[in-house]
Amino acid sequence: MKKELGIIMMTLLLVGCSSNGPKETTNETTNGTWDYREGNVLAKQSTKLLVVDSTDVTEIELKPELETVEQILKVVQPEAVWVTPINESELEAVEVGDEVSLEITGDISDSYPAEASAKRITVIDKTQ
């Protein structure tokens, strides 16, 4: 009886510790919300960028009648963040439509769109 109980306990322990292999890294966290690490530039102002989750870009493209950023934010409601770079010179290399990698520093506001500061903004080269 002790031997059978020991085998059952070991089996449960091994099953509980097993893994389905390495998890793929994506642009989303486990709860399905955007992690703000990568996105597409929807708008550019003198000191900040409006970056949206890349998964929302297709939906935005399907609504060409939406002409302003305000209309897009109201109708499509993409995951979006206004990003202010610590080093404003990083804005020079970024254009509307670029896919970017963000290194957010500090807190991200709960407003819509969210607001955050970025230590680094890097344009992702699509030719690689």
| DSSP annotation string for 2-59 | HHHHHHHHHHHHHHHH---SPPPP-SB-TTS-B-SSEEEEEEE-SS-EEEE-GGGHHH
State the Cα–Cα distance between residues 84 and 67, nearest whole angstrom. 24
Q: pLDDT band at residue 126, thresholds of 50, 70 and 90?
A: low
Selected residue with higher pLDDT from 4 and 51: 51
Provide the residue type at 107 as one letter. D
DSSP label at 72? H
Residue 23: the pLDDT is 35
Residue 28: the pLDDT is 43
Task: Delimit the domains of the chain by residue range.
Answer: 35-123
State the Cα–Cα distance between residues 54 and 42, nearest whole angstrom. 10
Residue 1: the pLDDT is 67
- Interacting residues of 118 by C-beta distance below 8 A, sequence separation 6+: 83, 84, 85, 86, 90, 102, 103, 104, 105
Beta carbons within 10 angstroms of residue 20's beta carbon:
5
Residue 113: the pLDDT is 92
Task: Give mean pLDDT, residues 86-96.
Answer: 89
Task: Give mean pLDDT, residues 3-12.
Answer: 59
The pLDDT tens digits for 76-90 are: 989 999 999 998 888
Selected from 2.40.50.140, 3.40.190.10, 2.40.40.20, 3.30.420.40, the CATH number assigned to the domain covering 35-123 reads 2.40.50.140
The pLDDT tens digits for 20-72 are: 443 333 344 434 577 888 999 999 998 999 999 888 888 888 888 888 989 98
Asked if residue 7 has pLDDT above 80, the reply is no
Residue 26: the pLDDT is 39
Beta strand pairing status for 38-44 and 114-123?
A: unpaired
